[in-house]
Amino acid sequence: MTRSELVAQIKAKKSFLCVGLDTDITKIPEHLLGEEDPIYTFNKAIIDATEDLCVAYKPNIAFYESYGIKGWQSLQKTWEALPKDCFSIADAKRGDIGNTSKMYATAFFDEKVSGLGFDSITIAPYMGNDSVTPFLEFENKWAIVLALTSNQGSKDFQNFENKENTQLFEYVIDKVNTWGSPENIMYVVGATRGEAFLKIREHAPEHFLLVPGVGAQGGSLQDVCQYGMNKDCGLLVNSTRGIIYASKGKDFAEKAREEAQKLQQEMEQELIKAGII
């Protein structure tokens, strides 16, 4: 998916919602456990219930890898079920180099080889340009690079300052900007960082930001929009637990839709306020 196609979807759906598919078999409704593939059955119901309200889906690959070959089969079927007008994110956080990165890129981007054709993948940039650039060799595919996360240990490295008072996450963004463009690079920025989005936008004014942490993790959508939105929106705000685990009963998909719709309606107001729609 190209940037212009993504922006068009945001305007058409009046939403910049990304639904996380971090599907834990111990948390899905019990009545699904008798299905041949409970994870896929759950995911398909969530997708069907929310596809008109969101512009992206983000399976967390660890939740599939942990089940071995059956998990990969669930992942492939889930990817095949994703609407073609929605941006697909393999939340894999790969970060190796050279030929290994090329193989990871093939695994998630080359449908003819692997059976998967995600639009994007999350990447840890610690090992430098050869951990990112192999993913940029694929046309209309995106590298979503970890920049400023909201986990407890993020300050161990990301906020380290050099003698010029530049924090490590700022340096990372400036360096990664030289490897690609706003047409194929996004950054992960945790929603609980609030005003830190101002600093992010100093270094990446045009790039899209993937923003986890809204909802169950306590991030404020209004703060994210106030400090992080740009002229094209420039945001994909992810919600996972607040949507997919809204109910453990047979109404789980209906309740997921209700929660997604609440966020979509809030996003619509933010897009109107910003003059984007």
Catalytic residues, by residue number, are: 93
| Residue 234: HSE in the Cβ half-sphere, 13 Å Cα cutoff | 20
CB 117 within 8 A of CB 123: no
CB 48 within 8 A of CB 105: no
Tokens of 81: 């079920």
* DSSP secondary structure of 73-138: HHHHHHHHHS-TTSEEEEEEEE---HHHHHHHHHHHH-HHHHS---SEEEE--TT-GGGTHHHHTS
Beta strands in the chain (DSSP E): 17-21, 56-59, 87-94, 120-123, 142-148, 185-189, 208-211, 235-239
Sign of the dihedral through C-alpha 114, 115, 119, 121? negative
Query: What pairs with residue 91 in β-bridges?
Result: 60
